[in-house]
């Protein structure tokens, strides 16, 4: 495993933390828990360095909250090795959902190459280690309800509202 460093910034929705190696994000989310993100990145929490320095991924997050929704699109993320090909395809498909719109889990499964893999699409969202940059918050149930989100439905709704307002 690559040596990871945690960086954090404040957002309107609370703290946002990234675990990075150079310019690549291995885990990210609306938490100040390095341990939680280390588990998502399959890293040993005690080996993650913590830095007070800024990071380009955090600058993108701040721009996103200032209304530049595309700022997060260029942030490079890294999947843990060994994930099933469908999960990787689903996460790539997530990055193609435009800000200000949503897709259903069924649509995500289809765009990832397997229309019948609806549960697997949900699992790809539920285990997404790089929230916001891989925008699993843009996926909803077929009936339009939110479904789940690791950082809480209030944050998911706030992200969707922010994108609808700024798109």
Could you give all domains of the chain from N- to C-terminal order, each with its CATH number? 5-77 (3.30.160), 85-166 (1.10.10.10)
Write down the pTM of the prediction. Answer: 0.94
Task: Note the pLDDT tens digit of each residue in 99-148.
Answer: 999 999 999 999 999 999 999 999 999 999 999 999 999 999 999 999 99
**Is the CB of residue 18 less than 8 Å from the CB of residue 6?**
yes
- Between CA 156 and CA 134 the distance in angstroms is 13
Round the CA-based radius of gyration of the chain to a whole number and report it: 15
Residue 167's pLDDT is what? Answer: 86
**What is the band of 83 on the pLDDT scale with cuts at 50, 70, 90?**
low
What percentage of the chain carries pLDDT values higher than 90? 92
Task: Note the pLDDT tens digit of each residue in 19-32.
Answer: 999 999 999 999 99
Handedness of CA 52, 17, 40, 81 (dihedral sign): negative
Q: Which residue has the tokens 């649509």?
A: 107
Q: In the annotation, is 166 catalytic? A: no
- Between CA 58 and CA 94 the distance in angstroms is 20
- Between CA 164 and CA 135 the distance in angstroms is 14
- Between CA 35 and CA 43 the distance in angstroms is 9
C-alpha 166, offset from chain centre:
19
Q: Which of 6, 93, 99, 136 is catalytic?
A: 136
């Amino acid at each position: 495993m690559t040596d990871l460093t945690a960086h954090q910034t404040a957002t309107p929705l609370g703290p946002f933390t990234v675990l990075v190696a150079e310019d690549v994000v291995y885990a990210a989310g609306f938490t100040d828990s390095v341990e939680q993100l280390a588990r998502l990145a399959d890293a040993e929490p005690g080996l993650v360095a913590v830095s007070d320095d800024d990071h380009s991924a955090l600058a993108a997050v701040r721009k996103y909250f200032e209304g530049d929704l595309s700022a997060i699109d260029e942030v490079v993320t890294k999947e843990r090795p060994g994930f099933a090909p469908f999960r990787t395809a689903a996460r790539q498909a997530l990055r193609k959902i435009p800000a200000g719109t949503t897709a259903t889990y069924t649509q995500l499964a289809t765009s990832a190459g397997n229309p019948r893999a609806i549960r697997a699409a949900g699992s790809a969202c539920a285990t997404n280690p790089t929230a916001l940059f891989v925008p699993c918050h843009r996926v909803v149930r077929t009936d339009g309800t939110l479904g789940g989100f690791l950082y809480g439905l209030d944050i998911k709704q706030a992200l969707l509202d922010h994108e609808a307002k700024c798109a």
